[in-house]
Structure 1
């Protein structure tokens, strides 16, 4: 029996978490009679595909506009709001670029980034590991949010009034530090508590200089 592997898919970064009929039909080809799609809380679907046909299947998915990501200890695709006020006003190009730079990057433990195009915060940036909030023409960066458990908490404002390039660099540097100093299977919020946000800030600044 052919070995199956699990991958994550979604419709990419756009106006809400949506799939087209063509995308659904393409996914259904690989479900079989009793197959299931697992819907995650992070705007992704998990689907099992034949390991030997991985590249072929991913190419087919991408041809219908699906984005594909690895499952496990990687940076998840960017959770977003619905961009209700429009592509440019709420910074969709920045969200797309940030996702392209970080999604699928290996990290010590699954990391969830989130983005919202205005202070209403529909993308829930304050309760995810890394959160980005667009405020007017700038971006505020939050880190260390936790959405689950009795110790759930909002993230800490880490950097504010960033332009897009400063945002990309700050997030990439954060992930680099977490990747090099984080312990195996150490969640990001625990890593921040162990290292200290002030020290992480110093290390990010050092990388930026």
Structure 2
């Protein structure tokens, strides 16, 4: 008897204010999970589910229909973590967070990379203690890298640049990911890469373009 193969997917309700799911989304999830399946809830506002490989295309189609977002599991850029509440989509720059997520989530990198976004300097989305952090300040954006949230080495990220317009932000993040891919060692966590390669050297490469 052939053993059924399962593919892990990281699933959430899309980029928005906090981790929210609708009843119809939960119902669709339930259709494709076996009775004894375990669902992992991560700190990145994701559910990790195991999908039978032969059903994968159908599952993705159904997820699309009900607005569920799904991502690869492993050494990829994760979906952007966002604030749990804000004052309004346009005011807090959520369209920028959604566009940045569309551009970078799922990109392959040397090791799992966690980006975070917050719509104001209060920082509910914890951008300063994630690998890549974006903070909206009035009408522009600040970009931080190299934050770490846990352990003895916990520290805030360093400011790469402030007063960024959306297109400048997208371009800088793309180039930082390129630098990490080109120079990072296999399974080298991003904060360790920043320490080894050097924050100043990253800035030099960004400014050289």
**Structure 2-normalised TM-score?**
0.97
8 A Cα contact 1:107 1:178, kept in partner: yes
**Deviation of residue 77 (structure 1)?**
0.1
Aligned with 2:120: secondary structure?
A: coil
Distance of 1:34 and 1:53 partners within structure 2: 18
Q: Which moved more, 1:26-35 or 1:171-180?
A: 26-35
| Residue 29 (structure 2) pairs with residue 27 (structure 1) | yes
Question: Match for residue 153 of structure 1?
Answer: 155
Gaps of 5+ in 1: none
Question: Match for residue 99 of structure 1?
Answer: 101
Question: Match for residue 82 of structure 2?
Answer: 80
8 A Cα contact 1:83 1:117, kept in partner: no
**Deviation of residue 59 (structure 1)?**
1.4
Distance of 1:36 and 1:30 partners within structure 2: 12
How many residue pairs match? The answer is: 207
Question: Match for residue 7 of structure 2?
Answer: 5
After TM superposition, the structure 1 = structure 2 runs for residues 104-183 of structure 1, keeping only pairs within 5 Å, are 104-183=106-185
| Residue 187 (structure 2) pairs with residue 198 (structure 1) | no
Question: Match for residue 54 of structure 2?
Answer: 52
Aligned with 2:21: secondary structure?
A: coil
Which runs of 4 or more aligned residues in structure 1 lie more than 6 Å from their structure 2 counterparts after TM superposition?
none
Question: Match for residue 43 of structure 1?
Answer: 45
**Deviation of residue 128 (structure 1)?**
0.1
**Structure 1-normalised TM-score?**
0.97
Aligned with 1:80: secondary structure?
A: coil
Gaps of 5+ in 2: none
